[in-house]
Amino acid sequence: MTNSVNLKSVKPVGDISNGLNLKSKITLGFSPCPNDTFIFDAMVHGKVDTEGLVFDFMMTDVEELNRKAFREELDITKMSYFAYAGVFSQYQILNAGSALGYKCGPLLISKNVIDLSEIHNLSIAIPGTNTTANFLLSFAFPDAVYKKEFLFSDIEDAILKGKVDAGVIIHENRFTYEQRGLLKLIDLGEYWEQQTKMPIPLGGIAVRRSMSTENKQKIDRIIKRSIEFAFANPDSGYDFIRCNAREMDDEVRKKHIQLYVNKFSIDLGEVGKEAVNLMYEKAFANKIISVMPQNIFV
């Protein structure tokens, strides 16, 4: 599920690509997780109007997408909101496509009961330094510094094999950790909500600042259209979603989509934007980031 996929050419519906130079293809990156494949299926498979734009898409783990954004390799990319703070001068955030909401944050888990006052002494697996999950761990436990990076899908095994004392899990692992005998120490998203009264900004869609305003607005509309199509035709993307998450059963895939795709995915709105800005304010105030992102939304 987390292996990189070669770039694929995606043509718009109908014949609106006629005369479009191949150099005008727009590179797009997103994860193979069910929420992203649900969101982008209609857009990348010509099920909705792409307004003359042509996309090459690839799929890989969100932390790798973060790194690609740092290297400015993609025109449009899903990325962690926390990581975006490091590339805001090169990218802006689209209104559509975000993973942002309530009761959907990362969990800190272990195989033993551990008092929260001991968190600072633990070795903790994280799904990437640049992930929002890592920010939320630092937000809740500033003194938790013994961190080790793992691919998000390997964190449960790392805990069970004693490579770390605890781990921050994201994505579908929220639905599987208990089956493996692991215990929740704290819901880091819930802690954020309690402290801020705001939804949790996990990941968003970033687009190059250098792209024309017209194309940015087109892409925003296309992604929104793709999500609305997916909600209206929930079985349409089943094969695409399933083939990129083969190890999940249908129920887990369904729960994954229900948890991470919501009204904020269609449009961040004022509340969503306020939550994103608040995260940067908190990160800047706590010296987790050194520069406050400016002019970030398309």
**Where a domain ends, among 196, 227, 262?**
196
Strand 166-169 relative to strand 124-126, pairing: parallel
Residue 140 in any domain: the answer is: yes
Helix axes 188-196, 269-285, angle to 10 degrees: 100
pLDDT over 60 (residue 14): no
pLDDT, position 192: 98
Residue 120 in any domain: the answer is: yes
For the stretch 262-288, pLDDT in tens is 999 999 999 999 999 999 999 999 999
**45, 120, 171, 256: which one is catalytic?**
171
pLDDT, position 172: 86
For the stretch 76-102, pLDDT in tens is 999 999 999 999 999 999 999 999 999
pLDDT over 90 (residue 19): no
Pull the structure tokens for residue 151.
Answer: 């691919």
Q: Residues of the chain with pLDDT > 90: what percent?
A: 88
The CA-atom distances, in angstroms, between 130 and each of 58, 127, 138 are 20, 9, 12
The CA-atom distances, in angstroms, between 141 and each of 198, 211, 259 are 19, 38, 25
Q: How far, in Å, CA of 153 to CA of 164, rounded?
A: 15
* Angle in degrees, CA 99, 102, 108, rounded to 5: 85
Shared-domain flag, residues 224 and 187: no
pLDDT, position 69: 98
Shared-domain flag, residues 232 and 171: no
Shared-domain flag, residues 189 and 204: no
For the stretch 104-156, pLDDT in tens is 999 999 999 999 999 999 999 999 999 999 999 999 999 999 999 999 999 99
Residues near 87 by Cβ (< 8 Å), separated by ≥ 6?
69, 70, 72, 79, 206
Please report which confidence band the pLDDT of residue 24 belongs to, taking 50, 70 and 90 as the band edges. low
Shared-domain flag, residues 55 and 187: no
Closest by CA to 173, choosing from 47, 71, 260, 102, is: 260
The total domain count for the chain is 2
Cβ atoms of residues 10 and 182 within 8 Å = no
Q: What is the mean pLDDT of residues 151-170?
A: 96
Shared-domain flag, residues 13 and 97: yes
The DSSP letter of residue 11 is P
Could you tell me which residues are beta bridge partners of residue 100? 201
Q: For 1-15, 55-69, 145-159, 239-253, which range has the lowest pLDDT when averaged over its residues?
A: 1-15
Q: What is the mean pLDDT of residues 147-167?
A: 96
Residue 295 in any domain: the answer is: no
Q: Which domain holds residue 157?
A: 107-196
Active site residue 171: yes
Q: How far, in Å, CA of 296 to CA of 213, rounded?
A: 14
Cβ atoms of residues 52 and 17 within 8 Å = yes
Residue 293 in any domain: the answer is: no
Shared-domain flag, residues 57 and 91: yes
Looking at 46-128, list the stretches that DSSP marks H as alpha helix, in order from N- to C-terminal side.
62-70, 81-84
Answer yes or no: pTM beyond 0.85: yes
Q: Please, what's the b/e burial string for 77-97 (b: 16 or more CB within 10 A of its CB; e: otherwise)?
A: bbbbbbbbbbbbeebbbbbbb
Shared-domain flag, residues 188 and 157: yes
**Where a domain ends, among 196, 228, 244?**
196
Looking at the chain, list the stretches that DSSP marks H as alpha helix, in order from N- to C-terminal side.
34-44, 62-70, 81-84, 132-140, 155-160, 188-196, 213-232, 238-243, 250-260, 263-266, 269-285
**Where a domain ends, among 167, 196, 225?**
196
Residue 219 in any domain: the answer is: yes
* CATH (domain of 132): 3.40.190.10
Pull the structure tokens for residue 16.
Answer: 């609106």
Closest by CA to 107, choosing from 194, 199, 195, 183, is: 183
Residue 294 in any domain: the answer is: no
